[in-house]
Amino acid sequence: MLDYKEVFFSKQEQSKLRDYLALHSKPVNLAQDSNDLSLFSHNESGPRLFLVGENHGIADNARLKLYLLKYLVRNANVKYFLLEAGYYDSLLFNRFLESGHIELLDEIFSSYQGYYSGMKEEYDFWKHLYEFNAALPAERKIKVFGIDSISGVRKSLDYIAGLVRECGDPPEDIKNVIDCVVQLESIYREEHISTERNIAGIWITFMSSLMTFREQYAGYLGVHFSDFVKVSDDMFTRIKRRMSVTKSREIREKYMFTRANEEIRANDSRYNYFGQFGNSHVGSPFTIIEPFGNRLNDSDLSPVRNSVVRICCIYNNCDGLLESGSRFIIKKISYPVPLQELFEGIFPDRVTVVKLDHEGSPFTILSGKEDAFLRDFHPSNIQYFIVINGSAASHPL
């Protein structure tokens, strides 16, 4: 019986694509800061946002993130760091970057146990980033923004209730609702309720009150109002996702798009942005839902329209942690099947950056391919990809 092997490219296509890859790729050493990444040069006006996509659970991700962030701060005027985390987490990360108090980092990572974010490599990333940030001039210091809806319920409730206690008695118009939220935090702490569904009714009432009496909340909370609203919105979005499982991915991508827009509009337009997220949030080959990275680049509502560089990581011969129930298992990760023959033997180095959208790129032919992954592995969706070879799996703390 003959083995069947699917052919994704003709010999002529493969030859043309491999010649292009050899000309427009550059190996990098993550242990050095001085590598030339001129491949990241782009249009004259320059990109406003660099988004990197990763497969979670691979050790080299955190090293790559530190390398790219440091490089882009130095060479692409990046100051703002977008996180695949809730806004409350970014408040703590900013405090850590300002102070270096390790107990703040420990507080964050204690809530990350059992998740991809709670890895030793990520913990070390933040310690190294503090050292780098401490040496930057005041006006260039990095500021972090969590734009996802995944902060834990308990720590979000603790933060909101803590602000209420700090601000004292609320105005009469919002007192009953605020009292209910504070009481909810106490109940949640005692573990009498355990899921977002259990608090949905109260939170919907609270968010309605926040919209109706916005001025009263703003006057009551003062300088804390903006942070209060963002943490509350994170909670509300998390609840909506749990109540509508079939629409959860779309709700999440839309929220990340909205939150990124808010932060980009609110901050100093002289500086640029960087973020490293799961591949499915950055590049469309990795998801059936339009990723927020594409929305930011393509939408008329985006303040960074046509200025988002999307960079996706491709892995070969790597070990990766995969969630399996309440634990992790290690699984070997290699090139996506449609790219295996094309990439074979062409990227021997540990890490290689490839520019996909150089003028005349033959990768534009992929838009006509039958394979769904290849159709979206296209310069209009991904401008660069980074090949990582032989990485170990991440290590849980």
Distance CA 273, CA 68 (A): 12
Label residue 2 by pLDDT band (50, 70, 90): very low
Express each pLDDT in 225-255 by its tens digit: 999 999 999 999 999 998 888 999 999 999 9
Label residue 184 by pLDDT band (50, 70, 90): confident
Residue 204: in which H helix or E strand, if any?
helix 200-212
Q: Average of pLDDT values for 192-213?
A: 81
Range with the poorest average pLDDT among 35-44, 156-165, 176-185, 273-282: 35-44
Express each pLDDT in 249-281 by its tens digit: 999 999 999 999 999 999 999 999 999 999 999
Strand partners, 83: 146
Distance CA 232, CA 194 (A): 18
pLDDT at 41: 65
Express each pLDDT in 154-176 by its tens digit: 888 899 999 999 999 999 999 99
pLDDT at 36: 64
Whether the CB-CB separation of 155 and 188 falls below 8 Å is answered with no
Strand partners, 330: 321
Distance CA 122, CA 351 (A): 19
Label residue 32 by pLDDT band (50, 70, 90): confident
pLDDT at 34: 61
pLDDT at 324: 76
pLDDT at 44: 45
DSSP-derived 3-state class of residue 389: strand
Distance CA 214, CA 173 (A): 11
Packed helices 200-212 and 214-221: angle between N→C axes, nearest 10 degrees: 90
Cβ within 8 Å of residue 137, ≥6 positions away: none
pLDDT at 4: 44
Predicted TM-score (pTM) of the model is 0.94
Considering only residues 32 and 326, tell me which one the structure prediction assigns the higher pLDDT. 32
Express each pLDDT in 105-133 by its tens digit: 999 999 898 889 999 999 999 999 999 99
